[in-house]
Structures are given as C-alpha cells and as structure tokens.
C-alpha cells in the first residue's frame, strides 16, 4: 500500500507568501568507504505564515538535515530552500535576525555565565536597544518562569530550566519563524506542559510560525495543526493530524460511561473490546473509521446498555506514524 | 588452504583500513616533528658555528644528531600533560582501580610502555630517517651500547611515566592541576635537555638538573644511542636511571597509598 | 558595522568575566605561563653561555628577537589561540550555533574565548623587551619607535592570522591539530631565532611562505642596525604589513574553503 500525500488545508488558504518554501530539496552525504547516503530526497513543501507544523519521522529520517538546510548550516545538494523569503546560504545573517532556532542538543547559552548574561549578550548580538531588550527579557522571564534562575550559571540549571532558557534565547529577538528541534526531549511532564503552553500563547499573540521536530506526539497534538511525516528523506505525508490518522486508517477508541455496572460489550460489529473499569461502568471499544462510523457503534452500544456519557479518544500517533513507515517501506 | 589465506588477507586488510585515521594522525605528527627538528637542529648547529669550535664535545654533526634523536624520543617519553589518573580521581573512577589486585600505577605503566614502544616504531623511526637525510645522524657503535641504549629508552619511558603519575597524584589533594601539569612539563622538557643538551648548561643549572630525574628522560638515552657516551659512562648513566625508577616508584606507591587514605577519609 | 562591533565587544567582555570565577586555577595557570616564558628565556641564555653569537646576533640582539617573537605570539595566542581547537567546536555543535546568529562565523569563533592566562607569558616578554632595548642602547628615533610599533601590532596580527589559517584547514583535514601546530607553534619557535641559523631553503620558507621572520628577527635588524644576510635584508622588515596581509589572505581563503566544506559535508 502506498500513501498519497494529502495537500494541507492551509496551503490553499492564505494568499501571503510562504514563510518556508522547499522545492525538490535533496541532500546527499558522501562518506569515505561507504555508499552515499541520501538524507533528504527531493523534498517539496511550503509553510504559510502563522502555521504550526510538526515535522516528524524516525531517527535518521532526515529531519535535522532539513532544518540545517533551512537555516544555512548545510548546503543542499540540489533543489532550493527559502526561509522567510531568503536564501539561507546567501542571506544567513539576515535570516538569523528573523528566525529563532532551538536545538534540543546544542546550547545557545554561555554555560559558564549567569543566565541573565546570556540574554544580555544575545540582545547585543541581535542589536536590540536597551528598552526593547529589557522589556522582551522581562516578558520571557515571566512567561517561562525563569526569574529564580537568572543569577545561576547556565551549567547548574536543570534540564527543564535550561530548555526553557533556550526557548527564551531563541525568541528574544521576536522572530517570525521559530524552529524547534526536539524541544521537549528529556523533560518531565510538568516542564513539557509549561513549554507547550508558552508556545501556544506566543503563537496566539504574535502569530509566530512554528516548525518543530519531535518524538513526543503530545507536542504535535497540543501544538500543531499540520504534520509533515518524513521517511528515508522523503515526504511520506503532509496534512492535518486527523487526516494523518484517517489516511492510514488509524483506530479510534470509544469510551462509554454506563448508568450501572455491566457485562463486557463484546460482539459490537466492527469493534474490539479493549477493557472495562469500575466493574464495567466505563468500557472502551476500538473501531476503525474505514469499516464503521462512530454513530453506528454508538447505536449498537445503546441497544444493549444505557449511556451516561461518552468520549472518543484520538488515535495514538506513534502508532499512526509506525503504520506510515510500514506502509511506505 | 586458499580460503584460509583469503580470510587472513581480508582480516589484515580490514585492520589496515581501520588504521586509516591513525595513518593521517601519524603523517601529521611526523610532519610537525620534522618542522621542529629542523628548527632545533638549526639553532644548535648555529651555536656550534658561532662558538667556532665544538661545544662540550659536540661538533655540528653531533649536535644535529642530538636534536634529531630528541625528536625520535619525544613521542615515546611522555613529558606533556598526561592527566588520565587525575581525571579518574576527579570523576571518582579511581576507586575502581583500587579494587584490582595490581597497584594501579603498575597497570598504567605497562600501558604506557606499550604505547611508547609503538610510538618509537611508528613515530620515532621515521624521524631517524628524516634526520639522517637532512643533516646526518650519529649512532652508537658497539653492540653493548645498543643494548644499553634501548634499555635507557625503556627506563626513560618509565621515569617519564612515574614523574607524570606523581604529578597526577596531586589531584587527590588539589581540585585543579592543569597549571601544575603545565609547569611540570615546562621544567621537565627544559631540564631533560630536549631543547639544549644538559652538557651545555652553565654549571649551576647542570647541578640543578642532576638533582632531578629529568636528564634521564632525554639526555641519557640520546647520549648512549648517539655514541656520545660509551663504556663505563653509559653504564653509569643507566644506573642513575635505574635509581630514579626505583625512587619514583616508591614515591608513586607512597603517594597512591596516601591518596587512597584521603579518599577513604572523605568517603570518596 | 558599528553595532556588530558592540556585539563582539560584549561577547569578549563576558569571556573575561567568566575567567574571574576561577581565581585559584587562573593564578596557577598564570604562574605556569610565566614559567613557560622564563624557561624559553633560559634556553636563549644557555645557548649564549656557549657561544658569543648565534646566527649573526649577540645575546642582547637575541633578547630583542626573543621578546618581540614571544610578545606577538603570546598576544595572538591570548586573542585567538583557541581557534586551533576547531574540531572540538565542531564536535560540541558550537559552530552550528554560530550559524544561528547574525554575526560572521569567523568573528564569533575568534571572540568565543580569551585566554587571559597567556598574560603570564606576555609579561615576561614585555620585561625582556625593556631589558633588551636598554642593553641594546636603542635610541628613540622615528625609525626604531616606528619599527617597534609596527612589529608589535602587525606581528600580533600576523601570528593571529596563522591561527585562523590553521583553523580553516581543520574543517577538512583529519587530525589537523598536529599539522596546525607545525605552523603556529612551529612558526613561533622559528620566529624566536635569527633567520641566519637556518639553511637557505628553511630561511626562505620562514620568510616568504610562513613569514615568521617578519614578526621579530627582521624588525630587530632595523631597530639595532644589524646587517642581516641573504634573504634577510633589514629593508624587508618594512614589508611586515604586506607579510601580514599575505597571511590573512591565505587565512581567509582557507577559512572560506573550510566553511564551504563544512556546509558541504555537514561537519
């Protein structure tokens, strides 16, 4: 089975120029004593201003390579990439003024100085005047709850604190596009939630465009309205999260709360009974939207028991991505 | 039979390929050592020319031999910033070394001797060739001197290692020993005679040098291998080296024991 | 470009501040670099203990060569000596981060560290310079003062250029660090000597290829009115700015080539 990329809803929507435009982008690594590796293979996509795009795929699928080409760190072998309307190789410095990047694994901060000084230095590097620098730093420090850590040397920050500081550093110059490479990797649940909330708020207030790679599907679910799935350097999917689930026929789960403890709901057509809690008061049924509809399942359930409440759980995205892989390989 | 040979051939080829990065490092090392060899030999020969006659028994050929022999040995005799033990003390990994039945410094010494032997073949021998082509090199003449000379190299490696080890032991008491290591290599390379033969030192400095193990690192093996010292003089020089190995070995054992006690007291 | 300058100055100031946090280790490092300077001085002394002249120079003249070579090299080392550790920067991903800032990559690399501990070696060189000028009875004429200033300023720039050149090489040379040492430390070592100790080909190499002789030996000939020799004409000394430009030209070429290679290979 092959997966046809679905056109994103947003690509046809806004008329403004794309903030990221990638056309036949290809990157081949030649390695001594090993066959050449095509890390990114004829990739084509566009991102409109204001979108929030999740860029997902397995390790080595070509995510970081794409990001490096979008930011001018790496030259494409062929094809073109334009970021905020600029050629990343030629206009790297101008690009750096308008884009913020967080690399989960490499720090933008000065590890041997108090955090506050990293912000001061970045403000100087981005030529923010004193007033703007103070105002912006204050904002970010408050929103990301960095106040207590400002006087600490960066090397002594916890991972969660450091990641929030990295995000603040990348956003200090109020970039139109923020690229985040694994921003939540290794963070605890609370730190993740905090970071996501901040990004949502930033996007809402400033219309900032987000492009993020992640292994954490929670990031995608909470932050992104569009997903690009990359596999072996190729775009395997481009569309909404729901569309992604729909394309590969991901199962959904119907959770029903009943008025009294009941027998397991076995035998509902096109469903699989997943389990029950509270002696059968809450039961879970999986179904595939390709075979049946939520309404049909619900009707069949109502014939047997009385419903008090119901919810439909979104598909497990990791499962979906895995299916995309197995489908396209 | 042919299949066997082929397997070994493939294995050998794979091993050789794996050495590719080392070959680059080797080429870089030989190139750099050659540049320094040329500069050193030029200075020393310039001094002999300026003096108008042999200085302390070194004519132009003898003294450029001295410079090149120094380049041969300097990859093997460690005098620069070896900090493995200090690093292990800092990280606490040294505790694992104490659990082994062999004293830790003997293990490290064995490793260092192996490294030195390899360096002598891979890095030293090419320097000998380059030196010989560039300005000529003098060699020891007798078989006894060659045996003594190679023994002197092994002892020099041991003295160099033990000296480094003692400095590393300072890490049991000091947080940061980078400055100390740096100071040690400055003093060691100077008094070893790496840049100027110890025989050229003014008397007061010769006395200072003789009170340290450092001439055993470079001056002694060069004297014997280049034929500058032979017979009883060579035997005496090697005996001094043996003395330093024993003295530094005992000092190393004591420092290790004291450091270990300190760690145990601290609960490290 | 003025505000780019502000950014670099802010970065450099922060590097200086960072080193003030480690007073004890800074003090021992400083001590070690003073010792390095003194040990090298002692070598010069030992040589002249055995010969009245080396490469046509007497002890006082050799002291001046020593002082200028040490001063310019140590100053360059203080400012940009970390550039020869480029592979470490690549491995730690610091180069990638440089790409994300609106400043030049080279400018960021050069200002990313300042090794204040080299002040130890500089101070030895300055003291020896004073001694050499007094012992050499150098009169403060426009020629001597001008040459001295030129030597210190351009000589430092020239040595810094060597560090940048080898940094560029290390983008694509595996194990480039050792090669790098031949040009930086090897060049500095050659710079400390009278050019006349070298055989002609070596002298030509250290005058016209890696022009180390321009930082100390040739200026010394002018300052002390020494005659020099083949390929070591005192008049050459005034070409020091050209030698510096040559080194920086090569440095910027290797750097550009290196950056291209980095963007081509992905580090």
Q: Which two tokens stand for residue B67?
A: 């410079």
Residues of B with Cβ-Cβ distance to C192 under 8 angstroms: none
Which residues of C lie inside 8 Å of B (Cβ-Cβ)? 22, 24-25, 27-33, 35-36, 39, 42-43, 46-47, 49-55, 173-179, 181-182, 186, 189-190, 193-194, 196-199, 202
Domain coordinates of chain C in residue numbers?
2-265
Residue A191's closest CA among A158, A223, A152?
A158
Residue A276 scores a pLDDT above 70 = yes
Q: Is B236 exposed, middle or buried (0-12, 13-18, 19+ CB in 10 A)?
A: exposed
Task: Dump the DSSP string for A219-268.
Answer: HHHHH-SEEEEEETTEEEEEE-HHHHHHHTT--EEEEEEESS-----TT-
Residues C124 and A133: beta-carbon distance below 8 Å: no
Q: pLDDT at residue A9 above 50?
A: no
Poorest-pLDDT segment among B3-7, B53-57, C33-37, C91-95: B3-7
Cross-chain CB nearest to B186 (options C32, C190, C197)? C32
**A with C: how many residue pairs have Cβ under 8 Å apart?**
75
Residue B175 placed within a domain: yes
Q: Could you give the CA distance from residue B240 to residue B234 in angstroms, rounded to a whole number?
A: 10
Q: Cα-flanking dihedrals φ and ψ of residue A70, to 5°?
A: -70, -25
Q: Which residues of C touch B35 (CB under 8 A)?
A: 182, 186
Cβ–Cβ contacts within 10 Å for residue C86, how many?
24
Tell me, yes or no, if B36 comes closer than 8 A to chain C by beta carbon. yes
Choose the mutation target among C103, C107, C263 for the interface with A, i.e. most A CBs under 10 Å.
C263
Angle separating helix axes A159-171 and A115-125, nearest 10 degrees: 20
Query: C51–B187: do the CB atoms touch at under 8 Å?
Result: no
B229's CB contacts (< 8 A; 6+ apart) are B223, B237
Token pair in block for residue B250: 């005992």
Q: Which chains touch B (3 or more CB pairs under 8 A)?
A: C
B133-157 residue pLDDT tens: 999 999 999 899 999 999 999 999 9
pLDDT band at A2 (very low <50, low <70, confident <90, very high): very low
Q: Are the C-beta atoms of residues C167 and C83 closer than 8 Å to each other?
A: yes
Subunit contact C17:A113, Cβ cutoff 8 A: yes
**Residue C32 with chain B: CB contacts under 8 Å:** 178-180, 182-183, 186
Region B71-80 average pLDDT: 91
Mean pLDDT computed over A267-290:
85
- The total of other beta-carbon atoms located within 10 Å of residue B43's CB is 25
Residue with more model confidence, A263 or C218: C218
* Distance from C-alpha of C208 to C-alpha of C197, rounded to nearest angstrom: 16
Contacts of A127 in chain C (CB under 8 A): 3, 6-7, 102
Instruction: Say whether residue A112 is in contact with chain C using an 8 A CB cutoff.
Output: yes
CB contact under 8 A, C263 and A73: yes
In the numeric block, the tokens 């050998």 are attached to B12
Query: A7: which 2 tokens?
Result: 């056109």
pLDDT at residue number A95: 96
List the single residue in A103, A113, A117 with the smallest CB-CB distance to C96: A103
Q: What is the mean pLDDT of residues A259-267?
A: 88
**Neighbouring residues of A234: CB distance < 8 A, sequence distance ≥ 6:** A41, A42, A43, A328
Complex ipTM > 0.85: yes
Residue B228 has, within 13 A of its CA and on its CB side, a CA count of 24
Kindly list the structural domains of chain A, giving each domain's residue range(s) and its CATH number in brackets, ordered by start: 9-246 (3.40.50.300), 249-328 (3.30.70)
Mean pLDDT of the residues in chain A: 86
pLDDT (mean) for A99-112? 89
Structure tokens at C182: 């031949």
Contact between B28 and C32 using a beta-carbon 8 Å cutoff: no
Chain C residue numbers with beta carbons less than 8 Å from the beta carbon of A68 are: 96, 266
Instruction: Please check the confidence at residue B21 and state whether its pLDDT lies above 70.
Output: no
Q: Considering the domain boundaries, does residue B92 fall inside one?
A: yes
Q: How confident is the model at residue A3 (pLDDT cuts 50, 70, 90)?
A: very low
A82 touches chain C (CB under 8 A): no
C6-18 per-residue burial string, b: 16 or more CB within 10 A, e: under 16: ebbebbbebbeeb
Average pLDDT over residues B35-42: 96
Question: Contacts of residue C96 in chain A, CB cutoff 8 Å?
Answer: 68, 73, 103, 106
pLDDT in tens, A219-235: 888 899 999 998 888 89
Residue in the structure block whose two tokens are 């002197």: B152
Cβ distance of C266 and A65 shorter than 8 Å: yes
Q: Are residues B178 and C36, on separate chains, in Cβ contact within 8 Å?
A: no
Do A124 and C266 make contact, defined as CB atoms within 8 angstroms?
Answer: no
* pLDDT averaged per 10 residues, chain C (length 267): 76 86 83 95 96 96 98 96 90 91 94 91 97 95 97 98 94 79 94 96 96 98 94 96 98 94 72
Q: How many CB atoms lie within 10 A of CB A28?
A: 14
For A27, nearest residue in chain C (alpha carbons): C264
Residue B2 lies in a domain: no
Beta-bridge mates of residue A181:
A103, A213
pLDDT tens by residue, A159-196:
889 999 999 999 999 999 999 998 888 888 888 888 99
- Structure token pair of residue A93: 């410095």
Nearest to A6 by CA among A322, A232, A202, A248: A248
Say if residues A77 and A27 touch (Cβ distance below 8 Å): yes
Q: How many domains, in total, are found in chain B?
A: 1
Q: Verify whether the Cβ–Cβ distance C99 to A107 is below 8 Å.
A: no
What confidence tens digit (pLDDT) does each residue in A26-51 have? 999 887 777 888 999 999 999 999 99
Q: Which domain holds residue B154?
A: 19-266
- A207 confidence band (pLDDT: 50, 70, 90): very high
Residues in chain C within 8 Å Cβ distance of A126: 101-102
Q: How confident is the model at residue B8 (pLDDT cuts 50, 70, 90)?
A: low
Write the CB contacts of C172 (distance below 8 Å, at least 6 apart in sequence).
C257, C258, C261, C265
C-beta separation of A182 from A213 below 8 A: yes
Q: Which residues of C touch B19 (CB under 8 A)?
A: none
Band of the pLDDT at B177, cuts 50, 70, 90? confident
Q: Which residues of B touch C216 (CB under 8 A)?
A: none
Contact status of A129 with chain C (Cβ, < 8 Å) = no
What pLDDT score does A319 carry?
Answer: 67
d(CA A71, CA B115): 44
Per-residue pLDDT at A318? 65
């Amino acid at each position: 089975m092959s997966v046809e990329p679905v056109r994103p809803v947003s690509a046809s929507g806004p008329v403004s120029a794309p903030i990221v435009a990638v056309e036949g982008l290809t990157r081949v690594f030649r390695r001594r004593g090993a066959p050449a590796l095509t890390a990114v293979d004829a990739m084509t996509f566009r991102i409109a201003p204001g979108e929030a795009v999740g860029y997902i795929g397995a390790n080595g699928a070509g995510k970081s390579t794409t990001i490096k080409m979008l930011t001018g760190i790496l030259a494409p072998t062929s094809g073109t990439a334009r970021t905020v309307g600029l050629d990343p190789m030629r206009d790297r410095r101008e690009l750096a003024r308008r884009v913020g990047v967080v690399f989960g694994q490499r720090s933008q901060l000065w590890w041997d100085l108090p955090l506050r000084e990293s912000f001061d230095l970045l403000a100087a590097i981005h030529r923010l005047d004193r007033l703007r620098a103070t105002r912006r730093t204050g904002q970010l420090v408050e929103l990301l709850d960095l106040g207590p850590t400002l006087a600490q040397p960066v090397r002594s920050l916890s991972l969660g604190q450091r990641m929030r500081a990295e995000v603040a550093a990348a956003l200090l110059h109020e970039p139109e596009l923020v690229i985040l490479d694994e921003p939540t990797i290794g963070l605890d649940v609370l730190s993740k939630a905090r970071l996501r909330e901040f990004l949502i708020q930033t996007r809402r207030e400033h219309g900032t465009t987000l492009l993020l790679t992640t292994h954490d599907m929670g990031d995608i679910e909470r932050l992104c309205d569009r997903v690009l799935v990359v596999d072996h350097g190729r775009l395997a999917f481009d569309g909404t999260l729901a569309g992604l689930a729909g394309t590969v026929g991901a199962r959904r789960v119907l959770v029903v709360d009943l008025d009294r403890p009941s027998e397991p709901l076995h035998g509902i057509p096109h469903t699989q009974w997943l389990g029950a809690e509270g002696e059968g008061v809450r039961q879970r049924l999986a179904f595939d939207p390709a075979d049946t509809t939520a309404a049909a399942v619900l009707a069949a359930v109502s014939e047997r028991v009385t419903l008090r409440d119901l919810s439909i759980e979104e598909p497990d995205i990791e499962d979906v991505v895995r299916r995309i892989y197995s489908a396209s390989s | 039979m042919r299949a066997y040979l082929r397997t070994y051939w493939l294995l050998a080829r794979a091993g050789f390929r794996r050495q590719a990065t080392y070959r680059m490092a080797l080429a870089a090392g030989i190139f750099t050592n050659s540049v320094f060899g040329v500069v050193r030999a030029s200075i020393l020969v310039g001094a002999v020319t300026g003096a108008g006659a042999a200085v302390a028994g070194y004519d132009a050929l003898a003294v450029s031999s001295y410079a090149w022999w120094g380049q041969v040995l300097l990859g093997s005799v460690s005098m620069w910033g070896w900090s493995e033990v200090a690093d292990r003390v800092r990280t606490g990994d040294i505790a694992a070394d104490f659990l082994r039945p062999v004293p830790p410094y003997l293990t490290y010494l064995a490793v260092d001797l192996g490294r030195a032997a390899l360096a002598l073949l891979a890095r030293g021998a090419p320097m000998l060739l380059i030196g010989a082509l560039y300005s000529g090199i003098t060699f020891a003449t007798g078989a006894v001197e060659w045996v003594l000379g190679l023994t002197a190299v092994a002892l020099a490696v041991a003295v160099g290692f033990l000296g480094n080890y003692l400095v590393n032991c300072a890490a049991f008491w000091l947080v940061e020993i980078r400055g100390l290591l740096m100071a040690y290599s400055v003093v060691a390379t100077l008094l070893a005679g790496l840049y100027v033969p110890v025989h050229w030192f003014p008397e007061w400095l010769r006395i200072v040098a003789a009170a340290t193990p450092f001439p055993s690192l470079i001056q002694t093996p060069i004297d014997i291998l280049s034929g500058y010292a032979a017979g009883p003089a060579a035997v005496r020089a090697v005996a001094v080296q043996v003395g330093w190995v024993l003295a530094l070995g005992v000092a190393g054992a004591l420092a290790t024991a004291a450091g270990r006690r300190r760690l145990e007291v601290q609960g490290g | 470009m003025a505000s780019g300058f502000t950014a670099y100055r802010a970065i450099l100031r922060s590097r200086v501040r960072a080193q003030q946090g480690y007073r004890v280790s800074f003090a021992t490092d400083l001590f070690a670099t003073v010792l390095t300077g003194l040990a090298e001085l002692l070598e010069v002394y030992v040589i002249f203990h055995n010969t009245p002249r080396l490469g046509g120079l007497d002890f006082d003249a050799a002291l001046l060569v020593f002082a200028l070579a040490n001063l310019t090299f140590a100053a360059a080392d203080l400012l940009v000596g970390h550039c020869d550790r480029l592979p470490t920067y690549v491995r730690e991903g610091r180069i990638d981060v440089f790409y994300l800032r609106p400043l030049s990559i080279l400018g960021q690399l050069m200002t990313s560290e300042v090794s204040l501990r080299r002040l130890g070696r500089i101070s030895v060189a300055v003291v020896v310079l004073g001694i050499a000028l007094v012992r050499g009875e150098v009169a403060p004429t426009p020629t001597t003062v001008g040459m001295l200033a030129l030597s210190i300023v351009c000589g430092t720039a020239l040595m810094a250029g060597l560090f940048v050149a080898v940094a560029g090489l290390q983008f694509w040379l595996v194990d480039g660090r050792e090669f790098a040492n031949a040009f930086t430390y090897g060049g500095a070592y050659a710079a400390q000597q009278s050019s006349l100790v070298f055989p002609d080909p070596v002298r030509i190499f250290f005058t016209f290829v890696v022009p180390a002789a321009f930082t100390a030996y040739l200026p010394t000939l002018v300052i002390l009115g020494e005659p020099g020799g083949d390929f070591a004409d005192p008049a050459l000394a005034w070409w020091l700015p050209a030698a510096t430009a040559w080194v920086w030209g090569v440095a910027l070429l290797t750097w550009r080539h290196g950056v291209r290679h980095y963007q081509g290979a992905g580090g």
